[in-house]
Amino acid sequence: MVEPVPDPILAVENLRSGYGITEVLRGVDLTIHRGEIIAVLGSNGAGKSTLNRTLSGINRAWSGSIRFAGTAIERDSPARIVARGLIHVPEGRRVFPNLSVRENLDLGAYRRGGGRSRDTLARVFSIFPRLSERQNQRAGTLSGGEQQMLAIGRGLMADPQLLILDEPSLGLSPLLVEELFALIQTINAEGIAILLVEQNVVQSLDVAQRAYVLDNGQFVLQGDVATLRDNPDLKRTYLGM
Amino acid sequence: MKGVGTILVVAALLAAVPLFGVSNVTLNFLVTALIIALAGQGWNVLGGYGGQYSFGHAAFFGTGAYVSAILQLRYGVNAWIAFAAGIGAGALAGAIIGGLSFRSGLRGSYFALVTLAFAEVLRILASVTPITGAGVGLLVKLDLRPEAFQFQSRVPFYWIILALVTVSLLIVRAIENSRFGAYLVAVRENEEAAKALGVNVIAVKLGAMVISAAIVAAAGGFYVQYFLFIDAGIAYGPWISIEALLAPIIGGVGTVFGPLLGALVVKVLGEAAKLVTGDAPGLDLMIYGGVLVLVIALAPRGIAGVVADLRARIVRRKPEAKPEQPTAGHHV
Ligand SMILES: Nc1ncnc2c1ncn2[C@@H]1O[C@H](COP(=O)(O)OP(=O)(O)OP(=O)(O)O)[C@@H](O)[C@H]1O
Ligand SMILES: [Mg+2]
């Protein structure tokens, strides 16, 4: 018997994008299945953040197609895309520093119709209990790790089907990195697909099912993490072996 | 709505001031301070809540003033209607200047400089164009009837500008409590994060610019009725751009009462400096400037910030005043 292939949550074909006249993404194909964790690896300047920004509509796609849950979204505004359930947590711990933790979280929920936001808040607090303890604290006074948790929690408030995390472990202590990767798995266990951009290659390959390696705006390697781990190129470039 | 009570109480207290038979000089002082408070509140919408610091809000003050004066003088339009048209024209100017600057992605000091440039271009144009009275300015015909938005006494003027300031306070409070206000603050705090949450950053900034410009234009239109004169330097000069941003900065940017508090303090300071220095020209301005620098250095969040800090300190002393308990796990 042939198992039916479920339609992917995200299907990207031949995507091109860039800044001004500089092309950064030079024809990218990417598929993420529902409930999957995908790692996107690549050196600095490879175009990982540009890919995230283009998927979430912040940067315009020059050409190619992006289908999210079966719908073409490459012409949609970021607001539309958020409302559809594709949420991007940008790199660099971008919290609203002078607002309280609670206000930060509330802002995450706005674009995704109110209704269930109290349940969502309770869920976010159960994943990040520390945010619950610090609801009234100014976000700018949180520690680096807490700010990153807040940025992710705010993304979850929008009730995503796909969560894009851009270098969430940047600048965190090894212990916190451990904790973060565990949390990513907790979030994923709730059925949320995750596109994870990371420099921590080893840990990313531990949590992801598949990985893509971006180099100079193109995917040069891709596949199951088990296969990729043994790939000599990947070993040499990213694992220092 | 939250916070409306305080606004109405403050307005009622201020409205009662003329009933105690204050002098014309005092009333004149208060009217001028309230004109600055109104302009400052306009600036506060965009600068305080949206974080877009304009150095050229004279563009809207002047547009409100000139459109009102020109409609009355050259087209015989009723003063009240002309006043309303001036506000509309100010809002339109805000939409144009905002559209041009925000669409081209101008931020921070670039935005400040571009707004300053717009105001200066308008000032130069107004000082050479016949319809604005060129170098001479425009004198609005004396017609001391309420229908003509002119009064024998200063008291009605005082009440009208107070009503305008009150409306601006209510508008800002409504913005604070609205989703638009939350987006505006998000844009101020971190534009990239706001974008990622799906906030249409340009639309939000533009909305704030239009509201901001309309309020400042109302201050300009009122100015014309009160002084019955306008010229390029008054309408589009840097003085009003500076006062409009000083009042909220001194009083507390991004707070409802900041601009009103700041306008009163700035005006009192200005008068006090003049008294102290007597006739020595320019010395009052130096003292005034020095005190402002001190205030900004010592209280970067303005008077409202100092008040908030004091309140927080008092609350912290009382052990029973615990912050709100977290709601985690309590499903509704
Ligand atoms: N706003 C911008 N304007 C012009 N060029 C940009 C802009 N942002 C990024 N670039 C360029 O696009 C290329 C890809 O950048 P991108 O930020 O996507 O890389 P990245 O893979 O996320 O790198 P990192 O690991 O350092 O975050 C780089 O050459 C960068 O200089
Ligand atoms: Mg990046």
Q: How far apart are CA A26 and CA A211, in angstroms?
A: 18
Same domain, A175 and A212: yes
Task: Please tell me the residue having the least CA distance from ligand 1 atom 28.
Answer: A45
| pLDDT one-digit tens code per residue, A154-166 | 999 999 999 999 9
Cite the beta strand spans of chain B per DSSP E: 138-139, 229-230
**For chains A and B, what is the number of CB pairs under 8 angstroms?**
91
Task: Write out the residue range of the structural domain in which residue A99 sits.
Answer: 95-159
**CATH number of the domain residue B128 falls in:** 1.10.3470
Residues with CB under 6 A from ligand 1: A 19, 24, 42, 44-50, 91
β-bridge mates for residue B139, sequence order? B229
Digit-by-digit pLDDT tens for chain B (332 residues) are: 668 999 999 999 999 999 998 899 999 999 999 999 999 999 999 999 999 999 999 999 999 999 999 999 999 999 999 999 999 999 999 999 999 999 998 989 999 999 999 999 999 999 999 999 888 999 999 999 999 999 999 999 999 999 999 999 999 999 999 999 999 999 999 999 999 998 999 999 999 999 999 999 999 999 999 999 999 999 999 999 999 999 999 999 999 999 999 999 988 988 888 788 777 777 777 877 787 788 778 888 888 888 888 888 887 776 544 444 444 433 33
| Contact: A77, B183; criterion CB under 8 Å | no
Same domain, A164 and A224: yes
Same domain, A168 and A241: yes
The domain total for chain B is 1
Same domain, A130 and A181: no
Which structure tokens are listed for B59?
Answer: 């563009």
Task: Please tell me the residue having the least CA distance from ligand 1 atom 30.
Answer: A45
- How many other CB atoms are found less than 10 A from the CB of residue A207? 19
The domain total for chain A is 2
- Name, in order, each residue with C-beta under 8 angstroms of A15's C-beta and a sequence gap of 6 or more: A25, A27, A28, A29, A30, A51, A54, A61, A63, A64, A65, A66, A74
Q: Which of A135, A159, A183 is the last residue of a domain?
A: A159
Q: How far apart are CA B299 and CA A156, in angstroms?
A: 37
Task: Please tell me the residue having the least CA distance from ligand 1 atom 17.
Answer: A49
Mapped onto helix, strand or coil, the DSSP state of residue A199 is: coil
Q: How far apart are CA B295 and CA B302, in angstroms?
A: 8
Report yes or no: A87 and A164 within 8 Å, Cβ to Cβ: yes
Q: How far apart are CA B3 and CA B108, in angstroms?
A: 31
| pLDDT one-digit tens code per residue, B181-192 | 999 999 999 999
Q: Which residues in chain B are closer than 8 Å to A50, comparing Cβ atoms? A: none
Which structure tokens are listed for A23?
Answer: 């092309």
Report yes or no: B271 and B265 within 8 Å, Cβ to Cβ: no
Task: Write out the residue range of the structural domain in which residue B14 sits.
Answer: 4-317
In a domain, B331, yes or no: no
Q: How far apart are CA B184 and CA B211, in angstroms?
A: 12
Same domain, A78 and A101: no
In Å, how far are A35, A89, A201 from A38, measured between CA atoms? 10, 15, 12
Cite the beta strand spans of A69-120 per DSSP E: 71-72, 86-89
Tell me which of A56, A94, A147 to substitute to probe the interface with B (most B C-beta atoms closer than 10 Å).
A94
Same domain, A164 and A80: yes
Long-range contacts of A116-119 (CB under 8 A, 24+ apart): A116/A159, A117/A157, A118/B327, A118/B331, A118/B332, A119/B331, A119/B332
| Contact: B196, A78; criterion CB under 8 Å | yes
Same domain, A171 and A74: yes
Q: Give me Rg for the CA atoms of chain B.
A: 21
**Residue A232: is it exposed, middle or buried by C-beta count within 10 angstroms (0-12/13-18/19+)?**
exposed
CA B123, chain centre distance (Å)? 19
Same domain, A66 and A164: yes
Report the gap between the CA of B150 and the closest CA in chain A (Å): 45
In a domain, A90, yes or no: no
Same domain, A170 and A68: yes
A202 alpha carbon to ligand 1 midpoint, in Å?
23
Chain B residue with minimum CA distance to A115: B332
In a domain, B332, yes or no: no
| Contact: A99, B326; criterion CB under 8 Å | no
In a domain, A181, yes or no: yes
Q: Which of A111, A134, A159 is the last residue of a domain?
A: A159
Same domain, A193 and A206: yes
ipTM confidence score? 0.86
Same domain, A1 and A79: yes
Same domain, A213 and A119: no
Q: Which of A159, A183, A209 is the last residue of a domain?
A: A159
